[in-house]
Amino acid sequence: MSYLFHNLLHFSRLLHAAGLDVHAGRMPEAAAALSHVNVGRQSDFYFALRTLLIHRHQDLAPFDAAFRAFWRRHSDNSSGVDPNALWERPRRGAPQVEFSLRDESSTGDGAVRTLPDAVELTAPLSYSAREVSRTKDFSEFSQEELRDARTMLEALRWAPGLRLTRRWTAGAGNTANFRQMIRTNLRYGGEPLKIPTKERKQKPRPLVVLCDISGSMERYSRMLLHFMHTVAAATRRCEAFLFATRLTRITHELSSGDVDAALSKIAQQVSDWSGGTRIGEALRTFNTDWARRTLAHGAVAMIISDGWDRGDPEVLRNEIARLRRMCHRLVWLNPLLGSPDYQPLTRGMRAALPYIDDFLPVHNLESLEGLAEHLNRLKPRTMRACLQRI
Please report whether residue 360 resides in a domain. Answer: yes
| 86/217 same-domain check | no
| 214/347 same-domain check | yes
Please report whether residue 56 resides in a domain. Answer: yes
pLDDT band of 274, cuts 50, 70, 90? confident
Q: Which residue has the higher pLDDT, 25 or 291?
A: 291
Please report whether residue 69 resides in a domain. Answer: yes
Please report whether residue 302 resides in a domain. Answer: yes
Q: Which residue has the higher pLDDT, 244 or 20?
A: 244
| 311/241 same-domain check | yes
Provide the greatest CA pair distance for the chain: 88
Over residues 233-247, the mean pLDDT reads: 88
Please report whether residue 301 resides in a domain. Answer: yes
Range in 23-37, 113-127, 241-255, 272-286 with the lowest mean pLDDT: 113-127
Task: Give the chain's mean pLDDT.
Answer: 76
Where is the domain boundary, 203, 227, 247?
Answer: 203
pLDDT band of 120, cuts 50, 70, 90? very low
| 180/298 same-domain check | no
**pLDDT tens-digit profile of 146-182?**
877 877 887 777 777 777 777 788 877 778 887 888 8
* pLDDT, position 125: 44
* pLDDT, position 232: 86
What is the total count of domains within the chain? 3
| 221/352 same-domain check | yes
| 383/297 same-domain check | yes
Where are the strands (E) in the chain, listed by range? 162-176, 197-204, 207-212, 238-243, 247-249, 300-304, 329-334, 358-361
* pLDDT, position 76: 43
Q: Which residue has the higher pLDDT, 353 or 235?
A: 353
Please report whether residue 156 resides in a domain. Answer: no
Write 101-110 long-range contacts (CB < 8 A, 24+). Answer: 101/42, 101/43, 101/46, 102/42, 103/41, 103/42, 103/43, 104/41, 104/42, 104/129, 105/41
Please report whether residue 138 resides in a domain. Answer: no
Cα separation of 327 and 317, whole Å?
16
What are residue 193's phi and psi, to 5 degrees? Answer: -75, -30
Decide: 81 and 116 in contact? Cβ < 8 Å.
yes
pTM over cut 0.85: no
| 182/265 same-domain check | no
| 370/225 same-domain check | yes
* pLDDT, position 384: 40
Flag whether pLDDT at 129 surpasses 80.
no
pLDDT band of 383, cuts 50, 70, 90? very low
Flag whether pLDDT at 130 surpasses 60.
no
Pairing label, strands 197-204, 162-176? antiparallel
Domain around 338: 207-389
Cα separation of 355 and 324, whole Å?
7
Decide: 165 and 190 in contact? Cβ < 8 Å.
no
For residue 280, the domain's CATH number is: 3.40.50.410
Flag whether pLDDT at 298 surpasses 80.
yes
Where is the domain boundary, 155, 187, 203?
Answer: 203
Please report whether residue 263 resides in a domain. Answer: yes
| 44/97 same-domain check | yes
Of the candidates 273, 326, 268, which has an alpha carbon nearest to the alpha carbon of residue 301? 326
| 243/368 same-domain check | yes
Where is the domain boundary, 149, 181, 203?
Answer: 203
Rg (CA), the chain: 26
Q: What is the DSSP string of 8-22?
A: HHHHHHHHHHTT---
Percent of the chain with pLDDT over 90: 20
Most confident residue range from 45-49, 77-81, 234-238, 341-345:
341-345
Flag whether pLDDT at 19 surpasses 80.
no
| 92/211 same-domain check | no
User: From residue 223, how far is each of 143, 194, 218, 351, 362 by CA, in Å?
Assistant: 10, 57, 10, 27, 10
Sign of CA dihedral 67, 73, 75, 76: negative
Decide: 137 and 363 in contact? Cβ < 8 Å.
yes
Over residues 103-115, the mean pLDDT reads: 37
| 264/384 same-domain check | yes
